[in-house]
Amino acid sequence: MLAYLDHHATTPCDPAVVAAMAPWWSEHCANPDSRLYRPALEAAAAVERARGQLARALGAAPEAVIFTSGATEANNLALKGVCEAALEQGHPRRRLLSLVSEHRAVLDPLAYLGRHGFPVQLLPVGPDGLVDLAQLEAALGDDVLLLSVMAANNEIGVLQPLAAIGELCRQRGVLLHVDAAQAAGHIPLAMDALGIDLLSLSGHKLYGPKGVGALLVRPGLRLAPQLHGGGQQDGRRAGTLPVPLIVGLGEALTQAEADREERAGRLGALRDQLWEGLQALGGIELNGGLTPRLPHNLNVTVQGVDGQRLHRLLRGRIAVSSGSACSQGSPSHVLAALGRSRAQAAASIRFGLGRETSATDITLAIDAVAAAVRELR
């Protein structure tokens, strides 16, 4: 039996989410922007219910929610939308800040903006994966337009100090964008309370469907749209709304919030059991600080083994990865930021536990790594 322990790459769609989406594929197929007859009005009402579900779960106003195809689009809309709006408004600030350990869905749009007149500064992280707040404060000059920080790292699971970061940004008049793809539905997030101006999320990271996500934008903040067409969503993101996926996203986040605390406690205990079992093998090093970290995340480097051979031996028994699912096998820039060598990064394992993970899965994972280590060492 293959134990699926790669929930940071994607999660299975919750049965309750599948059931909630079902009627909207065929029975209720109207376009929510038609608005001239009852089925279309019902579809529009379903979209608004989902908008309210996201807003309540994330501590924001319903009008803050823009539905997108996922967190990648949401990140692009946030970063490019803010910068293009600043150009249109003649805003004097241009510099953009982020961390070297961010996801490519943030780093690549920033690199694009850097080639178009917006200087980008990437701050280092410590061995624990966290930004140094004093260094961040020093970097928040009068020319900084926006800071983008991931709430929970997709590889090592560490949680950046969002409350302190939000306060620094408020003091300096800097916009704060948070990529919450790995955090929404897994840890408490209150956008307004934390001082977050823009927040991105994706449905398939929290037991929802693939192909849908959202960007939440503080009311009053101007964004230049990246998609032009029918003027949907108040002109901020054109395109016919995928009602089934939007309903699924709202239901997924509602379900995730309902069992978040129980799930965190259970998976945190299983994660600690996994860590203890791996430590007993010797030569296993933790990547990033153990706290604060997502309760369902563990990332380790197995010393003294070839990474390719290690993962070849593991893949028949456990589904894990060595880094981001988007890296396509490239060495992890996140682990490099922690000081890991290319060989060490290749010999690293990211474990992502999920709702269905059991103690049996943990035992299987420990046994699989132990068998691989015995053979390779």
- Residue reference for tokens 């593991």: 314
CA distances from 271 to 8, 186, 289, 290, 364 (A): 14, 14, 14, 10, 13
Tokens describing residue 46: 């379903």
Give the count of alpha carbons within 13 A of 161, CB side only: 14
Give the count of alpha carbons within 13 A of 351, CB side only: 31
By C-alpha distance, which of 277, 255, 97 is closest to 174? 97
By C-alpha distance, which of 234, 164, 227, 150 is closest to 194? 164
Q: Could you give the 3-state DSSP secondary structure of residue 34?
A: coil
| Catalytic one of 13, 29, 83, 326 | 326
Q: Which of left, alpha, beta for 347 (phi over 0: left; psi -120 to 50: alpha)? A: alpha
By C-alpha distance, which of 227, 177, 168, 229 is closest to 198? 177
29 is catalytic: no
DSSP state string for 221-261: -----SS-SS-TGGGTS-S---HHHHHHHHHHHHHHHHSHH
Active site residues: 326
